[in-house]
A and B are shown apart, each in its own frame.
Chain A
Amino acid sequence: MPEPPRPRSGPADPAARPDPPAESPDGVDLTLIRWTLSLTPLQRLELLQDWVDGLAELRHGRATED
């Protein structure tokens, strides 16, 4: 699955178009939406599954520590 985009580094090219905004006026992270829209529906579902599995791992880890 493609990785989420990273911020570009290095000097800005003055001829280049300005970067699209990273955030909407009401605070929504637009970079995440651009990333998920670049995925196929199956990849989006796999991403959600990864999040759910990761959350379960964290919960399990915390329970083990307790």
Chain B
Amino acid sequence: MAEPPRTSFLGLLRVLLHHGIDFLVVGGVAAQLAGAPILTLDLDVLYDKSPGNLDRLLAALREIKARYRDPAGRHIEPDREKLETLRMHLLLTELGALDLLGEIGAGLDFQALAGRTVSYQLGEARVRILELAAVIETKEHANRAKDRAVLPVLRQTLAMKAALDRDEEI
């Protein structure tokens, strides 16, 4: 199998922002941006399912030639119906692996989590990121082996960030 292109995190974020998409960065990249030293190979994004946002999202996905990471090697592209109905889209793009999520954790969607975000300036881009405490909650809920493996690092990072906020030495 051909090796997929390595993920360009900033490149993917720039495309999503350029198309004016309402989204939150979640998962491993959100944790890393919050200061947790964990490795992830894809960008996880929670997107708003409003009709206008789906139009913009589809345009962005066409631009980066997104298709599903299909184990059988079939070429299946995301479409409006899939984006409206499916919970998870594991995509391969010209800029690497992009996981689009309609909901995470206990059925939480973009609107439910929009109030639990922080905004970071990443170069010229300002990006909304799911706060670390919420990332931990979603991973606790998912409870897969890969989630359990990183939870001690995420919890420790959250505790050390809280200590820094209190001006305590870490």
Contacts and interface: CB of A to CB of B under 8 A. Distances in A.
Interface of A: 20, 24, 26-30, 32-37, 39, 41-42, 44-45, 47-49, 51-53, 55-56, 59-60, 63
A34 to B, nearest CB: 6
11 contacts: A26-B152, A30-B170, A33-B37, A33-B156, A36-B35, A41-B120, A42-B122, A45-B29, A48-B9, A49-B8, A51-B39
Interface stretch (B49-57, B74-82, B157-165): B157-165
Nearest to B7: A52
B10 interface: yes
B164 A53 contact: no
A37 B156 CA distance: 12
Contact of A37 (B3, B35, B169): B35
Task: Please tell me the size bucket of the interface on B.
Answer: 20 to 34
Contacts of B160: 30, 33-34, 37
B36 interface: yes
Interface of B: 3, 6-10, 29, 32-33, 35-37, 39-41, 120-123, 152-153, 156-157, 160-161, 164, 169-170
B121 A37 contact: no
Given A37-B170, A41-B122, A44-B32, A52 B6 contact: yes
A46 B157 CA distance: 19
Task: Name which of A30, A36, A47, A55 has the most chain B CB atoms within 10 A of its CB.
Answer: A36
A53 B6 CA distance: 7
A63 B1 CA distance: 12
A42 B120 CA distance: 8
Contacts of B156: 24, 28, 30, 33
